[in-house]
Structure 1
């Protein structure tokens, strides 16, 4: 009885695998294969997010474009009609006045020196401190972490810092008075620590087995793997040094050492400083136009620096922020 029914069961089992073109197998309850679909329509949230981000970007670009247009607008039109989206009376008097003297070139050199040297020193210092903290070496990592964390809570104050820079270190009228107070940012140090803690320990152990020392591991293995976080540090420090003007105002009194931001600040706060720049052909310095033109000249280089670091910026910031 059992032998007679076996072929029928086998035949029944084989019959369930018969399929029709474009249909699911007969007698099975599995999902049907996905049919060829057309182009997927964007979701409503995606469309709305694109619209909101586009409007926000446009709202950010409009003021910048008004500054550009105002820098090419004649001074009399600016004084009479104010700012507009398009220069009604085109004029380059402000740019001619800026670049015809030596003040702007001295300020460019000062800002470039402060930014380049300060960024290099700050990145090296922050990376070195972060690596020691991330290694959790006994006797040094915890005190160094506390030492780096304290400035996040409070600072020494303006007066003690001024006395230290001028009376103890004697750095007045030098660019190091602007570089040293901003050399280490605690927040960026701990972001770098989180990034270093995410490096696989097996890679470091393999290098130690091969006989590599700690310095060689750091320079030959860790730093090449840390390009994203190095780009983040360099961009943050470069922007901070480029935009720095308050410390320059405190410690620099020689106009030949003024950075760009201090030159711009003096021009904005005191209209009479415009007389230090060569006057226009009419003999009257275009004060409002000078402010806008000098703003464009000031933010141009640092604005162009971001696209070069964008490749590593988002990756380094997110990786460093998600560890720890």
Structure 2
């Protein structure tokens, strides 16, 4: 094996520091997260650049931009640390115990049910650390493209990426209104009954918005008035204040009527979609991540409030 590059590459710590700078696009923010001084971070990146004899980034204004070489170092660094992490987990598994780290990135609505899965898992396997990040669909797709995590949770996985998807939960999208909205006392509604309502919608490109638009097109339905809000929590509170109605995942209705919300029984609703656990097809799962995958697929029905979710679905469907 030709080790000439290895002798010039510097330390793994230098690569790790550079990855953090590339992620944060700021030496100051990277230094804060790494608990280092800014001069120390700058010095380590300078040593790495000198070892490779090429510039890894440039500063335009106050913004850091990676060079082509910097992009290559980032990609190689991510792959390198992923291999090291898998090696550590596999060796621990051979020793007869499970420890390691699982990284999960989820779209915002998934945060309402993910703790129901992580809680029992972490309790049963306390030596395994779980990290999860929350973002909108575009942000999570970007993380997926860069292979930054082990798993991703979507209700609407991207079709243009080579991924493996595991369907593991239903995701009913229900129409909700404030208890003070006159529609909330009606037992049976059609879409025309909602014609004067303002719909509070997620932004274009979100999984919920995609499902709603496809459903409306399929049934030849239109929305007359709408307001775009890029947060499920903000939509929920806006509905409570009777600013409009919304089509939102049943998982957001964690407290239901206790929050002042009512699920409306409207013909052709709820929209039935699903939650998917996703990873890149080329992703090599370690023993720990493979174990987590099997745990989720085999036990989710036992640890999630499925009866409550199914009751919400049936409540709306049975009237039609």
Task: Report if TM-score (shorter chain) is over 0.5.
Answer: no
Q: Which has the higher contact order (CA 8 A, sep 6+)?
A: 1
Flag the structure with larger Rg: 1
Query: More strand per residue: 1 or 2?
Result: 2
Q: TM-score, normalised by structure 1?
A: 0.25
Q: TM-score, normalised by structure 2?
A: 0.25
Higher helix fraction: Structure 1 or Structure 2?
A: 1
